[in-house]
């Protein structure tokens, strides 16, 4: 996650299903056989740019388009024209805030954060985007209760502008065990309670399957219970955040079916770090997640 953390710092600023090897191997083999086939369309596919940073953005967009991917995400205004040139969208943009570690749980940062996002909202609207990522920040000795109180106050200041521009603030759930030590929004129930207390339909969560499998498991049950609070999803193989095939523990076809069953119409972003040929691995992930 070092590369993603570095990228984010530069902003302007099942039940987790533990499947037997045979079941996942069958799913993977089926996906392999269907490579190149027309996608089913039940999942809107996206890809996180930072995982493919060694590939020029133009080349990644071309490859994504050929695979049936509709979005290249976690990009700011400088990259949006290139993405649009290929008929793609940026399902979850960035370009505001202070990064993962400096978020809304710190009241000393509220003025700067609110200003950053309020200045960014018109850019999102002009580009045709209606979401933007945000973060809780690290605890730094703060209790979950105090962090919640602080974050609610900061986000409530921002909600009038977000609602006016039709922009949904999407706070990411991240693990604090492996990748983001001390991050506060590291459990689904904390994030859901935050959304409830902020009290706006423009406050939602990014449910990152990789991160929440590490922190709490119970992925499918969590999706079924809390899906109204989820505006975006991310993938990743556990352990190691590599390919989402039969080399890791999550049953992604079952997870995708659970997401589809909730009626979700948004995007699922592939956010794993390829250990093999990056574009071949990306194509495999799309086929694995493209459930009927």
pLDDT, tens digit, for every residue of 209-256?
999 999 999 999 999 999 999 999 999 999 999 999 999 999 999 999
Question: What is the Cα–Cα distance from 235 to 241, expressed in whole angstroms?
Answer: 9
Domain extent, residue 38, equals: 2-289
Alpha helices in the chain (DSSP H): 2-9, 21-33, 57-67, 80-85, 110-127, 144-165, 188-198, 209-215, 219-226, 252-261, 278-289
Using only C-alpha atoms, the chain has a radius of gyration, in whole angstroms, of 18
| 0.85 surpassed by pTM | yes
Contact 174, 180 (CB under 8 A): yes
**Total domains present in the chain:** 1
* Region for residue 162 given its phi and psi (left: phi exceeds 0; alpha: psi -120 to 50; beta: otherwise): alpha
Q: Could you list the active site residues?
A: 172, 271
pLDDT, tens digit, for every residue of 42-68?
999 999 999 999 999 999 999 999 999
Q: How far is CA 101 from the centre of its chain?
A: 17
Sign of the CA dihedral running 228, 238, 243, 29: negative
Instruction: Name which of 137, 199, 206 is nearest 171 in CA terms.
Output: 206
CATH code of 233's domain: 3.20.20.150
């Amino acid at each position: 996650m070092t590369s993603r953390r570095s990228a984010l710092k530069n902003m302007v600023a099942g039940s987790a299903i533990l499947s037997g090897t045979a079941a996942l191997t069958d799913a993977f083999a089926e996906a392999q056989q269907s490579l190149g086939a027309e996608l089913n369309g039940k999942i809107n596919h996206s890809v996180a740019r930072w995982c493919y940073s060694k590939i020029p953005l133009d080349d990644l967009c071309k490859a994504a388009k050929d695979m049936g991917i509709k979005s290249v995400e976690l990009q700011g205004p400088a990259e949006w024209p290139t993405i649009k040139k290929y008929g793609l969208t940026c399902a979850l943009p960035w370009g505001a805030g202070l990064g993962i570690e400096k978020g809304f749980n710190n009241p000393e940062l509220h003025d700067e954060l609110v200003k950053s996002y309020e200045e960014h909202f018109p850019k999102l609207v002009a580009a045709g985007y209606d979401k933007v990522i945000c973060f809780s920040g690290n605890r730094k000795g703060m209790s979950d209760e105090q962090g919640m109180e602080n974050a609610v106050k900061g986000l409530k200041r921002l909600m009038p502008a977000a609602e006016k521009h039709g922009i949904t603030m999407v706070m990411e759930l991240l693990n604090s065990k492996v990748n983001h030590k001390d991050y506060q929004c590291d459990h689904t129930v904390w994030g859901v309670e935050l959304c409830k207390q902020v009290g706006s339909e423009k406050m939602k969560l990014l449910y990152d399957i990789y991160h929440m499998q590490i922190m709490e498991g119970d992925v499918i049950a969590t999706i079924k219970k809390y899906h109204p609070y989820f505006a975006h999803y991310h993938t990743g193989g556990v352990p190691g955040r590599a390919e989402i095939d039969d080399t890791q523990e999550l049953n992604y076809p079952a997870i995708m079916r659970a997401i589809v069953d909730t009626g979700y119409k948004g995007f699922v972003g592939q956010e794993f770090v390829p250990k093999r040929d990056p574009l071949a691995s990306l194509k495999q992930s799309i086929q694995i997640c493209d459930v009927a």
